[in-house]
Structure 1
Amino acid sequence: MLKTFFSSNSDDLMINDLRVAIFNLLFAKNNDGEFMIKVTNKDLSDKLDKIGVKNIFSQNENTYDIVAETTSKLIKRGLLEKKDGNNFYFTPDTKERLTFKDAILGEIIIDPEKFKNTLLIKDNIPTDDFLFIEDCYNNQTTHIIRNEGDRKLIELQHIINHALKRTTPGSALIPPLKKDNTSLSSLLNDGFSGINIFNYIATIGRTEFKMVCSTTRKIEDTFSVSSLANINPEFDKEHLKWMDTNCKEN
């Protein structure tokens, strides 16, 4: 498990990064895994070295090359699996791995049936980072979602909060997709923005395409409600409608 720290002038962002790092560290320890920190700031790397925190300083985003030795060990131990045909890896999730005692939050029980729209599902999508969402009112975990490393995902959380009438700062409920015959063309015909349809789907963490994709054609090539139906998704046009109104295309 690899957590990347980026330089930032935002205290809130750094605090959030620290929360994510702590959560990832505890998650790795409770699942017999290994945790490494990658930093893009040499000064931060030097400070971590001084206090004995193992870290990697690199601006190379090919994390699998950097942690090749660790990755190989985890594969041999059955804690990582290699997806056929490429160099992506994913953690095989089992019911046992979704329940563990967190040193800060206490016992965390993640019901696979209840949390189908989180990253902790068997979708074979490679993940090397978690985005830990907490309720700031009571400091309870609300969701654990895949973090694709795109700052836009973090920005969209505020929009999603409002769309779902959640006013709690710092927490986000990920909108689900309904099992119906909704298609990209029908949504576009209804006047929805192509990029916001894409953002809505990508934020859920259900699909393999990345949020950096910005053309309607690329969205159309990969968008398929039918392919999502086997994991019981739900689609709510009201949520998308609010996002479409408030998240303008750049």
Structure 2
Amino acid sequence: MKKIKVRYAPSPTGFLHIGNARTALFNYLFAKKNQGEFIIRIEDTDFSRNVEGGEASQLKNLRWLGIDWSEGPDIQGPFGPYRQSERLAIYQKYAQKLLDQDLAYKEFQEGHTTFAIRFRVPTNQTFAFDDLIRGKLTFQSQEIEDFIILKSNGYPSYNFAVVIDDHLMQISHIFRGEEHITNTPKQIMIYQAFQWHLPQFAHMTLILNDNKKKLSKRDANIMQFIEQYEKLGYLPQALFNFLSLLGFSPLSQTEILSPQELINLFDVARLNKAPAMFDKTKLDYLNNQHLRKLLPEVIASFILQKKYLALTTAPTNYKEWMTKFVALFQDRMHYMQQITDFYQLFFQSTPFLSQEATHFLQTNPQTTLILKTFYNVFDVIVFEKDVIANSIKQVTNQNDFAKKTLFMALRIGTTCKMHGPSIALLLELLGKKQVLKNLSYVLEQAQKF
């Protein structure tokens, strides 16, 4: 059996896009599942569209996702160079072979000595291939005009270069987007002209936005680039998980899967023909589930490294404080930069009551006494979680307050919020000074009613 070898061949015209990342990932999953090779090739012959830093950014973000390769522009192998701009002599040699066999011809521009080379499309022929996802696809040669394979500046066309490169680099399978289906008959013609063996093609489904239109870089309401998610503190394994499910239905009881589990489960027969929906809510859910698997100190270290919280005065033993803070909100966190939202929600220096909280104070006359009781208790205790929890328990047991009223008054009085995480740890992190300040403010408001 021929060794499996696949490639991801981006143009350095921008940063790693969701769609391109999915393409790279499916090729990678297929290679790893079948003990094959995954390589990178840079298609950079359109200099007018190339972006400075585009190649480096693509490679950096692929590695961040957990994708590695055995050959590429940064890992030389036996089939290089791996940038098309460094392979011009190769393309020109093969174009000349087609000219010599009268399978291509020169096309001169009027008044110029330079020429392009066009491939001579065979007449009245059928070109077919078995797509691994879509089944047999058929094209008629009369539907296709003679097409350029080498431009007048000596640079190859896309369809010519990819055939030469894929053959010489011994690519066995090509996973790519369905927009490339119409390129395939032209590429098959070139393969047949050289009497080369065809690779197997798999054209993946489109990715659609909320409006059920093809995901586009112009969709301003959707973050398009992997780098954006990395900066917000999404986990690479969560993006890997999410992207893998865009057009693939693994045979699994759960969608929360590690990279190795996805490699083990990958099956071309379970790739979908129907378009995949880009669902940001699902991405947030998957990232939350992967975050829950991490120790709080791991997340805390990352948050400190990224400096998501720019505090003017950091708490004593900041890393320990941050670890506790993460533990408090970890189950609610969709991405790590969200820690700033949680901080701003509870750690505001100026207390403020919502209309809902104010209504509770107005309609529950016991709250004034409850707030005074907790103020007096908290004023004299050591402000640590276990001590705070025991103090709350004692107040509950030693008084006849309705429990529901007591706990709601406690939460509003100490945090100015009606909802939140575990109260004892939250109060420890807020600190005695802020808690007493909040209680004083809420007590003052309650006494007005």
TM-score bracket, normalised by the shorter chain, equals: 0.3 to 0.5
**Greater RCO, CA 8 A, separation 6+:** 1
TM normalised by structure 2 equals: 0.20
Structure having the higher Rg: 2
